Amino acid sequence: MTVTEPGPLPGGPLSDEWGTESLRTRVAELLERARARTRVLTEAVDEADLVAQHSPLMSPLVWDLAHVGSQEELWLVRDVGGREPLRPEIDGLYDAFQHSRASRVELPLLDPSEARAYVAEVREKALDALGASPLRGRRLVEQGFAFGMIVQHEQQHDETMLSTHQLRAGPPVLHAPPPPAAAASPAVAEVLVPAGPFTMGTDTEPWALDNERPAHVVDLPAFRIDAAPVTNGAYAAFVDAGGYDDPRWWSERGWAHRVEGGLVAPQFWERDGDTWWRRRFGVLEPVPAAEPVCHVCFFEAEAYATWAGKRLPTEAEWEKAARCDPSTGRSRRFPWGDDEPTPALANLGQRHLQPAPVGAYPAGASPLGVHQMVGDVWEWTTSGWHPYPGFSVFPYPEYSQVFFGGDYRVLRGGSFGTDAAAIRSTFRNWDHPIRRQIFSGFRCARNVEPGSGPEGA
Ligand code: AVJ
Ligand code: FE
């Protein structure tokens, strides 16, 4: 099957430029692109594998499949479409708040063929709702929002299912071409982001989720940020220097977790003599030195940064480095500008099943020369999960609000497993600081010492 490449999405307040019919066509393409990916992930394994629990951190794949359909039914078929429930008796099974991931395998779930029939029936009715909706007049459907929210929801679960694949044992079942080689590495290791205000968040991105709103001005002192994510090679130097054995580099909580969890290296790494190997979707291979490190938790990222004499960026610093155009002071939708991602700009969409080496996407760099902020690996920041000033829930509290103030750290930028329609420079992700089955890496930042030279003035 063909998974179409990202094309233009409605960006900014473009409702006048996008006729209703072209918006419908675009929504239908994106719904199909998400579904094609869902099919790849759920047809690559047999039925026993689909219903199995591969890790206590993950749902059985068949739960994600029917949950995707259940959310689509709730929002697009029942709410937007005004239709009666297809199978009201299964709602509770697919409510993420009623059952932990570890317990879902015990539920009387739809079996794989029932789940496939269910999501297909929901999709048919969702497309009816798309045809019938004016896509305006009501905030939920304005500029196709509810459809965009459901596209992104399925794509988020596609990334979750990709993590499940990474955790399952056995020979490889997913295949993809390697990412592009490094074309032009960043000119410098670190970039200076000058002091001053920038606009964080958005009021205009039509499919931005509630936590990305509203746009607000944040004034930051000057700071330096790495021009690229920390690589496996750099991280291996920390491991090989005994970084995991020295509590000086770790926060108190981080050290406790490192000891209790028995962490010795990133997840999926193993050492053989002098060589680090990793298991990636069933393939055992030497760890590629030039790729961004992946599968580290927040505490490992923090320890590396301390060892390197740096720190992790805050969420605001990350966003400013990613989108601020210093020549105009304007905030961009993406590091490279306002245009949608293409395969030349960022490693997204499970097109490759690994991060690309540093320097693979010079065209995707920000105006300040910061590379690979979108795609490759999610990047840990030091920020906790909090609402922006003026936040309001839309359309439901269980997406963002119920998690505010919890034990989470914000991650930014998306990974190779994230679809282009589910990432932008304002997009905010969050997870527990101990999690590393996600496609998580990081880059470092540091303060500019006062009087350290003209650029720091
Ligand atoms: C935004 C990735 C934290 O997977 O828990 C999926 C996304 N919310 N279904 C998650 C989500 C509801 C969410 N994250
Ligand atoms: Fe969900």
Phi and psi torsions of 113, nearest 5°: -75, -35
Residue 436 in contact with residue 267, Cβ under 8 Å?
yes
For 98, other C-beta atoms within 10 Å of its C-beta total: 12
Closest CA to 267 of 289, 239, 247: 239
Q: What is the pLDDT of residue 5?
A: 39
Closest ligand 1 atom to Cα of 403 = 3
For 131, other C-beta atoms within 10 Å of its C-beta total: 11
- The three-state secondary structure class of 231 is strand
Cα gap 214→391, rounded to integer Å: 6
Mutate to test the pocket of ligand 1, among 67, 95, 153, 160 (most ligand atoms within 8 A of CB): 160
Q: Which ligand is nearest to the CA of 209?
A: 1
Q: What is the pLDDT of residue 457?
A: 39
- Tell me: pLDDT of 11 over 50: no
CATH tag for 20-167 (out of 1.20.1250.20, 1.10.580.10, 3.40.1170.10, 1.20.120.450) = 1.20.120.450
Q: What is the pLDDT of residue 387?
A: 99
- Domain limits of the chain? 20-167, 180-457
400 to each of 150, 375, 388, 457, how far by Cα in Å?
A: 15, 22, 11, 39
Q: What is the pLDDT of residue 456?
A: 42
Residue 427 alpha carbon to ligand 1 centre in Å: 12
Q: Do domains 20-167 and 180-457 have the same CATH topology?
A: no
**Ligand 1 binding residues, C-beta < 6 A:** 153, 156, 160, 399, 429-430
| Nearest alpha carbon, ligand 1 atom 12 | 399
Cα gap 18→27, rounded to integer Å: 12
Q: What is the pLDDT of residue 17?
A: 61
| Nearest alpha carbon, ligand 1 atom 1 | 429
pLDDT digits (tens, 9 = 90+) for 366-401: 999 999 999 999 999 999 999 999 999 999 999 999
Residue 429 alpha carbon to ligand 2 centre in Å: 13
157 is in an annotated binding site: yes
Sheet holding 269-272, edge to edge: 269-272, 275-280, 283-286
35 is in an annotated binding site: no
Residue 158's pLDDT band (boundaries 50, 70, 90)? very high
| Nearest alpha carbon, ligand 1 atom 10 | 156
CATH tag for 180-457 (out of 3.40.50.720, 3.10.20.30, 3.90.245.10, 3.90.1580.10) = 3.90.1580.10
* β-pair partners for 218: 198
101 is in an annotated binding site: yes
Among the ranges given (11-15, 223-227, 282-286, 312-316), the one the predictor scored with the smallest mean pLDDT = 11-15
Q: What is the pLDDT of residue 450?
A: 73
Residue 454 alpha carbon to ligand 1 centre in Å: 44
Q: Which ligand is nearest to the CA of 94?
A: 2
158 is in an annotated binding site: no
Percent of the chain past pLDDT 90, that is, above it, reads 93
| Nearest alpha carbon, ligand 1 atom 7 | 156
104 is in an annotated binding site: yes
Residue 355 in contact with residue 415, Cβ under 8 Å?
yes
pLDDT digits (tens, 9 = 90+) for 359-374: 999 999 999 999 999 9
Q: What pTM, to 2 d.p., does this model score?
A: 0.96
For 381, other C-beta atoms within 10 Å of its C-beta total: 26
Q: What is the pLDDT of residue 449?
A: 79
Closest ligand 1 atom to Cα of 157 = 6
Residue 31 alpha carbon to ligand 1 centre in Å: 18
Q: What is the pLDDT of residue 6?
A: 40
Surface-to-core class of residue 329, CB atoms within 10 Å of its CB (0-12 exposed, 13-18 middle, 19+ buried): exposed
pLDDT digits (tens, 9 = 90+) for 245-300: 999 999 999 999 999 999 999 999 999 999 999 999 999 999 999 999 999 999 99
pLDDT digits (tens, 9 = 90+) for 112-133: 999 999 999 999 999 999 999 9
428 to each of 79, 81, 290, 350, how far by Cα in Å?
A: 26, 29, 26, 19
Residue 8 alpha carbon to ligand 2 centre in Å: 25
Surface-to-core class of residue 48, CB atoms within 10 Å of its CB (0-12 exposed, 13-18 middle, 19+ buried): exposed
Residue 18's pLDDT band (boundaries 50, 70, 90)? confident
Cα gap 6→357, rounded to integer Å: 22
Phi and psi torsions of 197, nearest 5°: -80, 155
Q: Which ligand is nearest to the CA of 412?
A: 1
pLDDT digits (tens, 9 = 90+) for 342-354: 999 999 999 999 9
List CB contacts of 25: < 8 A, sequence separation 6 or more.
Answer: none
325 is in an annotated binding site: no
* Six-digit token string for 365: 């760099």
List CB contacts of 168: < 8 A, sequence separation 6 or more.
Answer: 45, 49, 52, 54, 282
Residue 156 alpha carbon to ligand 2 centre in Å: 8
Mutate to test the pocket of ligand 1, among 156, 162, 435 (most ligand atoms within 8 A of CB): 156
- Tell me: pLDDT of 12 over 50: no
Closest ligand 1 atom to Cα of 160 = 4
70 is in an annotated binding site: no
432 is in an annotated binding site: no
Cα gap 50→153, rounded to integer Å: 20
**Mean confidence (pLDDT) of the chain:** 95
pLDDT digits (tens, 9 = 90+) for 415-457: 999 999 999 999 999 999 999 999 999 999 999 977 665 544 3
Residue 65 alpha carbon to ligand 1 centre in Å: 14
List CB contacts of 46: < 8 A, sequence separation 6 or more.
Answer: none
Residue 15's pLDDT band (boundaries 50, 70, 90)? very low
Q: Where are the alpha helices (DSSP H) in 209-294?
A: 232-240, 252-260
Number of helices (H) and strands (E), helices first, in the chain? 9, 14
